């Protein structure tokens, strides 16, 4: 660590010049380049190897109700358990009726944009998916899921994306930043990832110092943290790299190619993510959180809280997908939550912590347009603990398949560090 | 976990500028911000080597029991002796606050009002009670001479986390802060737990107001066991969660519509499930009515898992991450034998022979910012920067949404250091500084070496490493004016890796 500062600066300068000339020959249309004023003045990364996608991992914090997201309208028990909260079947006359997927499942009517992507085969859903052991504690369940372990207590401290990046060579050999977590603290899934940083707002990530003193202070601050064997040194090293990197991207003038993003935290995070991915800085993974899914009371599946959360999710993902699909960027999005909610609604017009849920995978390189997974049924005797959608697909199967086929990890099972885990691909790719 | 904040529409955004304006209304008593009398008490010998001796223990005790070490407090503890200092800190009512609480009450009147008064006055725009509670929290952390109390309040605020900005939080949390957390912080755990379990702010936050007979809502019951008492893996089952939820049916607060005054705790007998229940193997007989809750809280607070969990929490806060099992056992035993006396547990956890072997802890963002102000005896002149830094660091008091409270781990906070450096870089700017230290702490006229040594004394008690001193001295040598060099020496010391720890 001690000598990194200066040599690496020079190295970066050198790369900058070569990249500038490289960029002129990139296969982008000149019109696209001319209009893309937000693009980094220079791109840092070497030509990206095309053997893998950028991973965008979206975590729905609080336990998202998979049964409202992907509605099993063909299962009569669904309507029995949810007399007031069920989403009406696509044949119903209600304006809140589900958008049919395959005659059995339907999407929440808030997810119109995702419905289109499903029909384009760009969206796959894995239902009755989750952890191999039920855990109704948000914190324990999130922890295990992000760590990638099946059973508590987990001895692992690093996250599944962190270990994946540790086990693979960088997508671009000289990338300064391989993973970015949108938020103040690094997501557990990213912990352990080499060259990763939490960034709450990519647009304003630089040292705030009095004009005229910034450069001098920055230089000395760099030294303060370069000369120490302190655990903070690594974090600061990545921070300075990230500052440099993000400064070259003009987020404020970034324009989506597919209409405006929703004016929400998720929308803004995905817009920044799109800018980051398109700027080809060699980023491999971005983690984005969205909260509020813990709908214990007045869930508002049709016109309340859950409906607006789903709408925000669907619209943000829809714009993001189409925005990136028009670019040469390659990406796969995974959407997950720590658990689903009780199949049976509670007395507060809400649902309590459950078990199985639905996972979503979006990308142009997947076999979408299908709901994957074995449906366990919702009859009382089929429910887990008499109250929850059972889990028939270990969520790690979804991740393992994507890790191998979309993220170029030759040994995805190693990521989960669990001898009892045997990969069994679902056919997502 | 809570449902109410969900969509975000009801959630109050934090408004740093308004919080800053609130803070401007209060200037702390001079007695609380006065720098030490002389600068001669440097821990350095004439040859530049440090000479600490027994002062290291006092240093450690001040570090661990405050929102920021200062040379003046170091001198005070050395003068009265660390044991007597701790004794008084553990009996905060015996510590003169030089009228600070009265000033807070005057400057931030919403912190003294009832839930009903707040709801009537601020129904349309709840920003005022939100910013005032946050501002009061910061003023106390910065200036209260009852610093240990403030650290313990911080611990319980996270332990019994409630999101101030969420739902009814702006009207209910100020009351919870006053009558639950602050009132019982150093008392018996059972009293604290009981107050929290009856706190409308908690019941609203964890939606127990919708937990009724026949339709239990287990939100509060689960967090009560997992986060407040037994801890995860503390020996309860899913069945226990359900049974505790049944005990809490009808346990709610006044909404104005259910006959009770808005924001006051109430028990609605007709919503209570009065059949028999069984909690952790203990039967709770039918017909218990409102007594069910007291029985549950007795069972939980006397459970050995709770003793261990609370001991771990106290040690995690005051000793360090991952305290060894033997230490946890000692504090847990103290918890059990003292009937859950928080003060007794703290005495154990803060005993000097435990503290000397404690690992360094990374300051959380609020602690980092307050320690910068306290250490430099500065007048906080730009509140906006203080608050926006806190906001950028993601540590606005009472703004953590999930019920587990702000983390207190290095792993969580060490990834985001830039806003700390921002604060340091702006702290002593020549124009519009955030902090204006007492003139006596700017050693402008001295040599670069002496100035650096002074910054080391003032902020690090002589703990500056060569890896920090060298760049600071080099920076000062390359800075055009002496005055600016003096300011930036302090700034860089605040930004140093050493100052991030305590």
Whether B6 and chain A come into contact, CB under 8 Å, resolves to yes
Q: Which of A230, A299, A312 to mutate to test the interface with B (most CBs of B within 10 A)?
A: A230
A contact residues 117-146, partner B, Cβ 8 Å cutoff: 136-140
- CA pair distance A64, A169, nearest whole angstrom: 34
CB nearest to A224's CB, from B422, B478, B496:
B496
Whether A386 and chain B come into contact, CB under 8 Å, resolves to no
Whether A387 and chain B come into contact, CB under 8 Å, resolves to no
Rounded to 10 degrees, what is the CA torsion of B38, B44, B50, B53?
A: -50
Cβ-contact A36, A266 below 8 angstroms: no
Q: At A54, phi and psi to the nearest 5? A: -80, 135
Is 90 exceeded by the pLDDT of residue A400?
yes
Give the tokens for residue B282: 């203990």
C-alpha A45: how far from chain center: 22
Choose among A288, A291, A187: nearest CA to B411.
A187
CB nearest to A294's CB, from B2, B212, B425:
B2
- Contact state of A353 with B394 under an 8 Å Cβ cutoff: no
Peptide bond into A153 cis (omega under 30): yes
DSSP string, B175-235: HHIIIIIIHHTTSBHHHHHHHHHT-HHHHHHTTGGG-BTTB---HHHHHIIIIISS-TTSS
What pLDDT tens digit does each residue of chain B (502 aa) get? Answer: 443 333 333 455 666 677 677 777 777 777 777 766 654 455 555 555 555 566 888 999 999 999 999 988 998 998 999 999 999 999 999 999 999 999 999 999 999 999 999 999 998 778 889 889 999 999 999 999 999 999 999 999 999 999 898 789 999 999 999 999 999 999 999 999 999 999 999 999 999 999 999 999 999 999 999 999 999 999 999 999 999 999 999 999 998 888 899 999 999 999 999 999 999 999 999 999 999 999 999 999 999 999 999 999 999 999 999 999 999 999 999 999 999 999 999 999 999 888 888 999 999 999 999 999 999 888 888 888 888 888 888 898 998 877 889 999 988 888 889 999 999 999 998 888 888 877 777 777 788 998 999 899 899 998 999 999 999 999 999 998 998 999 999 999 999 999 999 9
- CA pair distance B159, B311, nearest whole angstrom: 12
Bridge partners, B279 (sequence order): B282
- Contact state of A243 with B418 under an 8 Å Cβ cutoff: yes
Give the tokens for residue B224: 């009560």
**Chain A contacts of B394, Cβ < 8 Å?**
183-185, 200
* Angle at CA of residue B370, ends B365 and B376, nearest 5°: 130
**Chain A contacts of B232, Cβ < 8 Å?**
137, 139-140, 152
Confidence of residue A252 (pLDDT cuts 50, 70, 90): confident
Whether B480 and chain A come into contact, CB under 8 Å, resolves to no
Cβ-contact A158, A31 below 8 angstroms: no
Bridge partners, B265 (sequence order): B253
- CA pair distance A101, A148, nearest whole angstrom: 30
Choose among A200, A239, A208: nearest CA to A222.
A239
**A·B CB contacts under 8 A:** 174
CB nearest to A228's CB, from B233, B422, B467:
B467
Name residues whose C-beta falls within 8 Å of residue B385's C-beta, 6 or more positions apart in sequence: B423, B426, B434
pLDDT at A339: 96
- CA pair distance B210, B216, nearest whole angstrom: 8
- Contact state of B219 with A296 under an 8 Å Cβ cutoff: yes
**Chain B contacts of A308, Cβ < 8 Å?**
7, 9
Name residues whose C-beta falls within 8 Å of residue B375's C-beta, 6 or more positions apart in sequence: B68, B69, B70, B71, B458, B459, B494
- CA pair distance A97, B229, nearest whole angstrom: 44
Provide the shortest C-alpha distance from residue A343 to chain B (in Å).
14
- The Cβ of residue A314 has, within 10 Å, a number of other Cβ atoms equal to 23
C-alpha B428: how far from chain center: 26
CB nearest to B415's CB, from A140, A197, A220:
A197
pLDDT at A227: 67
Provide the shortest C-alpha distance from residue A190 to chain B (in Å).
11
Collapse the DSSP code of B82 into the 3-class scheme (helix H, G, I; strand E, B; otherwise coil) and give the result. Answer: helix
The DSSP call for residue B50 is B
Choose among B104, B20, B74, B134: nearest CA to B380.
B20
**Chain A contacts of B393, Cβ < 8 Å?**
184
- CA pair distance B92, B429, nearest whole angstrom: 37
Bridge partners, B436 (sequence order): B379
CB nearest to A348's CB, from B2, B217, B468:
B217
- CA pair distance A105, A93, nearest whole angstrom: 17
- CA pair distance B205, B229, nearest whole angstrom: 18
Q: How big is chain B by its Cα radius of gyration, in Å?
A: 24
**Chain B contacts of A221, Cβ < 8 Å?**
421, 425, 492, 495
- Contact state of A137 with B226 under an 8 Å Cβ cutoff: yes
pLDDT at A144: 87
- Contact state of B7 with A184 under an 8 Å Cβ cutoff: no
Cβ-contact A15, A42 below 8 angstroms: no
- Contact state of A347 with B216 under an 8 Å Cβ cutoff: yes
**Chain A contacts of B448, Cβ < 8 Å?**
none
Cβ-contact B502, B69 below 8 angstroms: yes
Whether A20 and chain B come into contact, CB under 8 Å, resolves to no
C-alpha distances in Å from residue B44, one per residue of B50, B158, B450: 4, 39, 11
| Pairing of the two strands A196-199 and A179-182 | parallel
Average pLDDT value for residue range A156-163: 86
CB nearest to A224's CB, from B215, B402, B492:
B492
Instruction: Write the ipTM.
Output: 0.88
- CA pair distance B484, B6, nearest whole angstrom: 48
Choose among A397, A406, A404: nearest CA to A424.
A397
Whether B407 and chain A come into contact, CB under 8 Å, resolves to yes
| Closest Cα in chain B to A233 | B497
pLDDT at A408: 93
Tokens 């918890």 -> residue: B335
């Amino acid at each position: 660590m001690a000598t990194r500062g200066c040599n690496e600066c020079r190295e970066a300068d050198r790369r900058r010049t070569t990249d500038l000339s490289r960029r002129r020959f990139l296969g982008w249309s000149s019109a696209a380049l001319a209009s893309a004023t937000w693009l980094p003045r220079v791109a840092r990364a070497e030509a990206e190897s095309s053997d893998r996608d950028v991973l965008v991992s979206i975590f729905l914090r609080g336990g998202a109700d998979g049964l409202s997201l992907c509605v099993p309208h063909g299962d009569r028990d669904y309507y029995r358990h949810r007399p007031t909260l069920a989403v009406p079947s696509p044949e119903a006359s209600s304006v809140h009726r589900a958008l049919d997927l395959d005659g059995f499942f339907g999407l929440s009517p808030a997810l119109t944009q995702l419905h289109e992507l499903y029909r384009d085969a760009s969206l796959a859903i894995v239902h009755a998916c989750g952890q191999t052991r039920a855990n109704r504690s948000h914190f324990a369940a999130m922890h295990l899921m992000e760590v990638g372990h099946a059973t508590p207590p987990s001895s692992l401290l690093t996250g599944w994306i962190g270990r994946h990046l540790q086990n693979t060579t960088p997508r671009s050999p000289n990338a300064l930043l391989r993973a970015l977590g949108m938020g103040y603290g690094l997501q557990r899934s990213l912990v352990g990832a080499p060259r990763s940083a939490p960034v709450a707002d990519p647009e304003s990530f630089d040292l705030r110092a009095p004009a005229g003193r910034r450069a001098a202070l920055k230089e000395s601050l760099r030294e303060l943290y370069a000369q120490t064997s302190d655990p903070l040194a690594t974090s600061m090293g990545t921070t300075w790299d990230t500052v440099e990197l993000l400064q070259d991207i003009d987020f404020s003038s970034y324009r989506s190619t597919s209409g405006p993003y929703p004016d929400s935290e998720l929308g803004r995070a995905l817009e920044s993510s799109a800018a980051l991915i398109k700027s080809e800085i060699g980023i491999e993974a971005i983690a984005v959180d969205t909260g509020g899914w813990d709908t214990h009371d007045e869930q508002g599946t049709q016109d309340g809280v859950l409906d607006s959360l789903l709408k925000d999710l669907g619209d943000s993902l829809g714009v993001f997908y189409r925005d990136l699909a028009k670019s040469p960027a390659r990406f796969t999005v995974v959407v997950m939550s720590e658990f689903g909610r009780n199949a049976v609604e509670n007395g507060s017009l809400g649902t309590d912590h459950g078990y199985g849920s639905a996972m979503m995978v979006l990308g142009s390189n997947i076999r979408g347009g299908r709901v994957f997974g074995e449906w366990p049924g919702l009859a009382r005797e089929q429910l887990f603990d008499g109250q929850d959608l059972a889990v028939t697909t270990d969520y790690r199967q979804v991740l393992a398949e994507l890790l191998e086929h979309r993220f170029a990890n030759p040994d995805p099972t190693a990521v989960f560090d669990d001898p009892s885990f045997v990969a069994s691909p679902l056919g997502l790719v | 976990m809570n449902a109410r904040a969900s969509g975000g529409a009801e959630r109050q955004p934090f408004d740093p500028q308004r919080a800053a304006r609130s803070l401007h209304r209060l200037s702390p008593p001079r007695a609380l911000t006065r720098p030490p009398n002389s600068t001669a008490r440097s821990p350095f010998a004439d040859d530049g080597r440090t000479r600490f001796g027994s002062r290291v223990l006092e240093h450690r005790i001040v570090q661990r029991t405050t929102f920021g070490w200062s040379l003046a407090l170091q001198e005070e503890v050395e003068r009265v002796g660390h044991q007597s200092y701790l004794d008084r800190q553990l009996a905060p009512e015996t510590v003169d606050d030089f009228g600070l609480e009265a000033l807070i009450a005057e400057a931030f009147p919403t912190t003294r009002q009832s839930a009903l008064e707040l709801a009537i006055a601020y129904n349309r725009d709840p920003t005022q009670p939100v910013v005032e509670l946050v501002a009061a929290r910061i003023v106390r952390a910065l200036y209260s001479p009852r610093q240990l109390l403030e650290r313990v309040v911080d611990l319980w605020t996270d332990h019994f986390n409630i999101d101030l900005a969420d739902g009814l939080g702006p009207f209910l949390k100020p009351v919870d802060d006053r009558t639950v957390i602050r009132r019982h912080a150093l008392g018996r755990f059972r009293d604290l737990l009981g107050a929290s379990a009856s706190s409308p702010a908690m019941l609203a936050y964890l939606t127990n107001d919708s937990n009724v007979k026949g339709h239990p809502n287990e939100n509060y019951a689960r967090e009560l066991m997992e986060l407040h008492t037994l801890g995860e893996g503390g020996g309860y089952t899913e069945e226990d969660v359900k049974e505790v939820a049944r005990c809490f049916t009808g346990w709610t607060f006044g909404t104005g519509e259910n006959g009770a005054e808005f924001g006051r705790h109430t028990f609605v007998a007709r919503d209570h499930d009065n059949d028999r229940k069984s909690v952790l193997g203990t039967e709770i007989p039918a017909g218990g009515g409102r007594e069910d809750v007291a029985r549950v809280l007795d069972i939980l607070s006397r459970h050995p898992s709770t003793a261990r969990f609370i001991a771990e929490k106290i040690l995690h806060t005051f000793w360090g991450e991952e305290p060894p099992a033997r230490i946890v056992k000692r504090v847990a035993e103290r918890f059990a034998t003292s009937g859950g006396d928080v003060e007794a547990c703290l005495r154990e956890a803060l005993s000097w022979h435990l503290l000397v072997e404690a690992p360094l802890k990374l300051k959380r963002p609020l602690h980092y910012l307050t320690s910068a102000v306290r250490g430099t005896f500065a007048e906080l002149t730009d509140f906006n920067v203080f608050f926006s830094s806190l906001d950028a660091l993601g540590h606005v008091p009472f703004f953590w949404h999930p019920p587990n409270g702000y983390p207190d781990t290095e792993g969580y906070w060490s990834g985001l250091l830039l806003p700390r450096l921002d604060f340091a870089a702006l702290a002593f700017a020549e124009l519009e500084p955030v902090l204006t230290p007492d003139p006596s702490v700017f050693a402008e006229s001295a040599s670069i070496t002496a100035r650096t040594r002074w910054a080391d004394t003032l902020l690090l008690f002589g703990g500056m490493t060569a890896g920090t001193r060298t760049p600071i001295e080099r920076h000062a040598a390359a800075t055009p004016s002496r005055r600016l060099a003096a300011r930036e020496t302090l700034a860089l010391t605040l930004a140093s890796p050493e100052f991030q720890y305590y």
